A and B are shown apart, each in its own frame.
Chain A
Amino acid sequence: EPEVTQTPSHQVTQMGQEVILRCVPISNHLYFYWYRQILGQKVEFLVSFYNNEISEKSEIFDDQFSVERPDGSNFTLKIRSTKLEDSAMYFCASDIPGGSEQFFGPGTRLTVL
C-alpha cells in the first residue's frame, strides 16, 4: 500500500542552525501539507502546497519557514534559523484532488538544543 515517507526520523540541531526536513508524498497525490505537533499538544497546520506554490499558511509559518518541491517526488520543509520552540514532531501529508483524505507520514522529531 502506498505511503508517505519522511526523513530523517529524528533530527537534533543547535539553536540558530538551518534544518531541512524531507518528505516523499504518495506518487499520484497533488496536494502537500506540513503539520507540526509539539509534545503533548494537538496537531497544528503549517502550510499547504499545490501546483508549485503555497496555497495557505498558518501564523506559525513565518519567514523562517519555507517549502519546496525540488523534483517530482520530494517535498521539503526548511527552517532557516531554528529556535528552541521549534522542537516538535513535523508531519508531512498528501492528498489527491477532491480526495478529502490526507495521508500522513510517520513524522520527523526535531529537537533544538
Chain B
Amino acid sequence: QKEVEQDPGPLSVPEGAIVSLNCTYSNSAFQYFMWYRQYSRKGPELLMYTYSSGNKEDGRFTAQVDKSSKYISLFIRDSQPSDSATYLCAMSALISNFGNEKLTFGTGTRLTIIP
C-alpha cells in the first residue's frame, strides 16, 4: 500500500461549484497535513496546513483531517477559474531530533474550473 494516495483526476467542475479533493494515508507517524497548489511548471505553493483532526477554514478553503480513518480533504467553495491548478496533498513526519520534517506528497489532482 502506498504511503499517500490521491486521486489524480483530472477533475472539471463549473465555476461556483464546491470542490472536494481527498487523500488517504497509511503511515501513522504523519503529524502534519498540508495542501499545496501547483501551477504548471512552477513550485508548490502552500495553501493550508493542520496537525489535528477536525476542520480548518481559510476563506473559501477548508481543510479536514480524520486521523482515525487516515483521510484528509480539501474543500473549495465558490470555485473560481483562477483555482484551476494541480492540488497536492502532503504529509510530514519528524526525521530527526532537531525538529525538521520530510514531506511525502500525493500524486496531485488536476483541477479545472470551467467559466
Give Cα A105 to B90, complex, Å. 16
The contact of A91 among B43, B51, B95, B106, by CB within 8 Å, is B43
- 5 intermolecular pairs with C-beta atoms under 8 Å apart: A43-B103, A48-B102, A100-B32, A100-B49, A104-B36
10 tightest A-B contacts by CB?
A56-B95, A104-B43, A31-B100, A55-B96, A43-B105, A100-B32, A42-B107, A106-B43, A104-B44, A107-B43
Chain A residue with Cβ nearest B38: A43
Chain A residues with CB below 8 A from B108, complex form: 42
Choice from B41, B49, B92 contacting A109 with Cβ under 8 Å: B41
**B interface vs A, CB < 8 Å?**
31-32, 34, 36, 41-46, 49, 51, 88, 90, 92, 95-96, 98-108
* Distance in angstroms between the alpha carbons of A44 and B33 in the assembled complex: 16
Residues of chain A with a CB closer than 8 A to B42's CB: 106-107
Nearest CB in chain B: distance from A50 CB, A? 5
B105 touches A55 (CB 8 A): no
How many chain A residues have a CB neighbour from B under 8 Å? 29
**Shortest CB–CB separation between residue A3 and chain B, in angstroms?**
10
List of B residues within 8 angstroms of A109 by Cβ:
41
Q: Which chain B residue lies CB-closest to A98?
A: B99
Q: How far is the CA of A41 from the CA of B52 in the complex (A)?
A: 28
The answer for the CA separation of A41 and B107 in the assembled complex, in Å, is 7
Answer whether A55 and B98 are a contact pair too, CB < 8 Å, given A42-B107, A42-B108. Answer: yes
Chain B's closest residue to A43 (CB) is: B105
Name the CB-closest residue of B to A91.
B43
Enumerate chain A residues within 8 angstroms of B92, measured Cβ to Cβ. Answer: 100, 102
Please give, as numbers and ranges, the residues of chain B lying within 8 Å of A56 by CB-CB distance.
Answer: 95-96, 100, 102
CB distance from A47 to the nearest CB of B (A): 9
